[in-house]
Amino acid sequence: MTSEETSLASKEELNAELKALLCRAYESGIDVEGGFECRNGVEHPDWDVIVTEVVKNEGSE
């Protein structure tokens, strides 16, 4: 996601963007499991993101 893209207006849109990002990374061979520090300078808060693989539910996409 770049600053040129449209802003997100809901948690559903955030989830869709995260899903797309994780799928692109996985398809590129990147191990997406683990912890990621997101340091954002003084304008925004910093975040710690933890990604874990979960068992698929029956009938999930």
Question: Would 52 be classed as within a structural domain?
Answer: yes
Question: Would 24 be classed as within a structural domain?
Answer: no
Whether residue 60 is predicted with pLDDT greater than 80 in this model: the reply is no
Predicted pLDDT of residue 52: 96
pTM listed for this prediction: 0.74
pLDDT tens profile 13-40: 999 999 999 999 999 999 999 999 999 9
> What are the distances in angstroms from CA 36 to CA 7, 9, 43, 49, 51?
22, 24, 19, 5, 8
Question: Would 8 be classed as within a structural domain?
Answer: no
Average pLDDT over residues 42-53: 96
Question: Would 15 be classed as within a structural domain?
Answer: no
In which element (H, E) is residue 14 found? Answer: helix 11-27
CA distance 17 to 23: 10
Domain of 41? 31-60
Predicted pLDDT of residue 11: 96
Q: Which one, of 8, 11, 53, lies nearest residue 33 by Cα?
A: 53
Question: Would 56 be classed as within a structural domain?
Answer: yes
Total number of domains constituting the chain:
1
Write the DSSP symbol of residue 15: H
